[in-house]
């Protein structure tokens, strides 16, 4: 009997502890990200390509050959290569446009695979709709040809005009050719033979680099990762992954790390956009904001002479100047407030983004804000 009572008491105690645990607030969970989303693998990158070509088949919306000499020269050179001599002849076609073709050669792009390209008009062409890009070599920064582009141009805008009206939607002078280029040359990069690999952080930070290295070392059980600087972490390939760097990186890039950044406020004065980081803190400061409005109205009066008199008409100026000031009371922002409290306090003043930009800069000048302000 005593054993039964003790078991009942034990079950009741467990139930009470469980109920208490359910009522307690949960601990905040830190926002973590994969190493794959925080850093790039050095050497695994795209390469930019560019080329010059001609788009034909336009419905009279191409370049004006008399105004754009390079289009005329390119057309003549292309026809001469095909055995057609038009030197000295008058060309008045409006169905050709000179374009620049750009694209990104993907990492480890193999010969024969395809890539997308963008076609942009160089001259005074009005629309590239319905045009076809002729064979265009795409060159890298070293001057070598890495791909060749050709195909029908698809645009995202249009243009329609009549005698007295014109409608333009989007940008009809820029188009895209999906899978419009074929890779002809590969860039050699022996990833599996590397003795070590370096991770390049997208946002340089000492703390984030150290956390990435610690996460990798804890996962492998050996000191294989070392932060070199705030934007680079060097990984030494373990013995079991020699010759199989891809498998090693597959394991590493899935590790979860909590990134860290400095407190920063980004301001775009042209558009009035303000972005604040979560770590922005403000010391105790009082803020007041007022709008001064000056109104000037003119109502001139005309004084005319009597009929048949020798007087003259005189215009007498009559100006009215009014000054109004919409002042707000001081708002107290306490020490160490969070981002949400800071925004709520400034919104309580009833100000807009433009005035908020000036207030943030004034708080920074007063030394009361713990954040970097970056003005775009």
How do residues 114-125 score in pLDDT, each as one tens digit? 999 999 999 999
Please answer whether residues 133 and 53 qualify as being in contact, where contact means their C-beta atoms are separated by less than 8 angstroms.
yes
Return the number of other C-beta atoms located less than 10 Å from residue 173's C-beta. Answer: 23
User: What pLDDT does 62 receive?
Assistant: 92
The counts of H helices and E strands in the chain are 7, 26
Percent of the chain predicted with pLDDT > 70? 76
User: What pLDDT does 363 receive?
Assistant: 77
Residue 319 within a domain: yes
In a shared domain, residues 202 and 287: no
- Among the candidates 128, 158, 183, a domain finishes at 183
Element (H, E) at 325: strand 319-327
Spatial distance between the Cα atoms of 336 and 373, rounded to a whole number of angstroms: 18
In a shared domain, residues 65 and 176: yes
User: What pLDDT does 137 receive?
Assistant: 97
- Choose the weakest-confidence range: 99-113, 114-128, 135-149, 277-291: 277-291
In a shared domain, residues 178 and 75: yes
- Choose the weakest-confidence range: 37-41, 72-76, 297-301: 297-301
In a shared domain, residues 237 and 179: no
Residue 238 within a domain: yes
In a shared domain, residues 52 and 143: yes
In a shared domain, residues 71 and 163: yes
- Among the candidates 159, 183, 207, a domain finishes at 183
Residue 288 within a domain: yes
- Which residue did the predictor score with more confidence, 305 or 106? 106
- Choose the weakest-confidence range: 85-99, 119-133, 341-355: 341-355
What is the pLDDT averaged over residues 295-324?
A: 68
Please answer whether residues 165 and 77 qualify as being in contact, where contact means their C-beta atoms are separated by less than 8 angstroms.
no
Q: What does the pLDDT look like over 224-273, one tens digit per residue? A: 999 999 999 999 999 888 889 999 999 999 999 999 888 888 888 777 77
Write out the DSSP string of 5-44.
HHHHHHHHHHHHHHHHHHHSPPPPPP--EEHHHHEEETT-
Residue 228 within a domain: yes
Domain total for the chain?
3
In a shared domain, residues 118 and 235: no
Is it the case that residue 84 has pLDDT exceeding 70?
Answer: yes
In a shared domain, residues 195 and 174: no
In a shared domain, residues 62 and 164: yes
Two tokens, residue 327? 């002042």
- Which residue did the predictor score with more confidence, 276 or 218? 218
- Among the candidates 183, 216, 237, a domain finishes at 183
In a shared domain, residues 286 and 366: yes
Task: Please list the alpha-helical segments (H only) found in the chain.
Answer: 2-23, 35-38, 69-81, 206-220, 245-252, 339-347, 353-365
Is it the case that residue 179 has pLDDT exceeding 60?
Answer: yes
In a shared domain, residues 208 and 274: no
> Confidence class of residue 13 from pLDDT cuts 50, 70 and 90?
very low
What is the pLDDT averaged over residues 23-49?
A: 76
Q: What does the pLDDT look like over 126-164, one tens digit per residue? A: 999 999 999 999 999 999 999 999 999 998 876 776 666
Element (H, E) at 198: strand 196-201
Please answer whether residues 268 and 297 qualify as being in contact, where contact means their C-beta atoms are separated by less than 8 angstroms.
no
Residue 371 within a domain: yes
Residue 105 within a domain: yes
User: What pLDDT does 18 receive?
Assistant: 42
Q: What's the predicted TM-score (pTM) here?
A: 0.67
What are the angstrom distances between the C-alpha of 168 and each of 124, 154, 156, 165, 173?
A: 15, 16, 11, 10, 11
Best-predicted range by mean pLDDT (65-79, 283-297, 314-328): 65-79
Residue 51 within a domain: yes
What is the pLDDT averaged over residues 190-196?
A: 87
Is it the case that residue 296 has pLDDT exceeding 60?
Answer: no
**Closest Cα to residue 280, out of 162, 356, 348, 369?**
369
- Which residue did the predictor score with more confidence, 286 or 295? 286
- The domain in which residue 116 lies consists of 47-183
In a shared domain, residues 251 and 278: no
């Amino acid at each position: 009997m005593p054993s039964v009572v003790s078991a009942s008491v034990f079950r009741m105690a467990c139930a009470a502890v469980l109920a208490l645990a359910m009522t307690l607030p949960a601990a905040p969970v830190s926002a973590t990200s994969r190493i794959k989303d925080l850093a790039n693998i050095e050497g695994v990158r795209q390469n930019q390509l560019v080329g010059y070509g001609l788009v034909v088949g336009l419905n009279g919306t191409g370049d004006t050959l008399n105004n754009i000499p390079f289009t005329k020269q390119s057309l003549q050179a292309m026809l001469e290569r095909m055995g057609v001599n038009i030197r000295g002849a008058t060309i008045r076609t409006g169905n050709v446009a000179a374009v620049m073709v750009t694209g990104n050669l993907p990492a480890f792009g193999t010969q024969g695979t395809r890539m997308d390209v963008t076609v942009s008009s160089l001259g005074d062409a009005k629309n590239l709709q319905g045009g076809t890009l002729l064979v265009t070599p795409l060159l890298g920064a070293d001057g070598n040809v890495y791909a060749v582009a050709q195909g029908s141009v698809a645009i995202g805008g249009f243009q329609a005009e009549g005698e007295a009206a014109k409608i333009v939607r989007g940008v009809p002078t820029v188009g895209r050719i999906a899978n419009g280029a074929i890779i002809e040359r590969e860039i050699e990069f022996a990833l599996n033979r590397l003795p070590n690999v370096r991770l390049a952080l997208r946002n340089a930070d000492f703390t984030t680099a150290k956390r990435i290295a610690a996460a990798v070392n804890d996962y492998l059980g050996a000191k294989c990762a070392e932060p070199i600087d705030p934007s680079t972490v060097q990984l030494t390939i373990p013995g079991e992954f020699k010759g199989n760097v891809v498998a090693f990186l597959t394991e590493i890039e899935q590790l979860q790390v909590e990134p860290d950044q400095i407190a920063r406020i980004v301001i775009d004065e042209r558009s009035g956009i303000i972005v604040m980081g979560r770590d922005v803190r403000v010391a105790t400061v009082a803020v007041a904001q007022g709008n001064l409005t000056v109104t000037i109205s003119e109502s001139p009066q005309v004084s005319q002479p009597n009929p048949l008199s020798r007087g003259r008409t005189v215009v007498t100026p009559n100006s009215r100047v009014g000054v109004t000031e919409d002042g707000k009371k001081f708002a107290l922002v306490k020490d160490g407030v969070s981002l949400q409290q800071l925004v709520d306090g400034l919104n309580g003043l009833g100000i807009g983004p433009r005035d908020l930009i000036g207030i943030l800069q004034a708080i920074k000048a007063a030394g009361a804000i713990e954040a970097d302000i970056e003005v775009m």
